[in-house]
Amino acid sequence: MVRHPLAPEQIEAGRRLGAALRTARAGRSPAEVALAAEISPETLRKIETGRLPTPAFGTIVRLSEVLGVSLSDLALVWRTDPALSEAS
């Protein structure tokens, strides 16, 4: 299977998603959230910093549940391009 490089829009969407998750984590430690979501703290760190812009769906589901953020809200963050919002 050939893995195609991500488009710049996908990379930026991953950064927005990571920032939203970091904000939702608020005062909780990354290790605490990662443990509750059954992922490694390193994976959470990569998602939050945008180094893992397209995490697995199951990972996002678990983080959504642990952080109390709806999947539809996270999807909106991922799909919303701020440049398009500024242009309107």
Q: Render pLDDT for 75-87 as a digit per residue (tens, 0 to 9).
A: 999 988 765 555 4
Q: Radius of gyration over alpha carbons of the chain, in Å?
A: 13
pLDDT score recorded for residue 86: 52
Residue that the structure tokens 């953020």 belong to: 69
Query: pLDDT per residue over 18-68, tens digit each?
Result: 999 999 999 999 999 999 999 999 999 999 999 999 999 999 999 999 999
Extract the tokens encoding 26. Answer: 């608020």
Task: Fill in the amino acid letter for 21.
Answer: L
Please state the length of the chain.
Answer: 88
pLDDT score recorded for residue 88: 42
pLDDT score recorded for residue 2: 84
pLDDT score recorded for residue 50: 92
Distances (CA, A) of 27 to 2, 60, 86: 40, 19, 31
Task: Fill in the amino acid letter for 76.
Answer: L
pLDDT score recorded for residue 85: 52
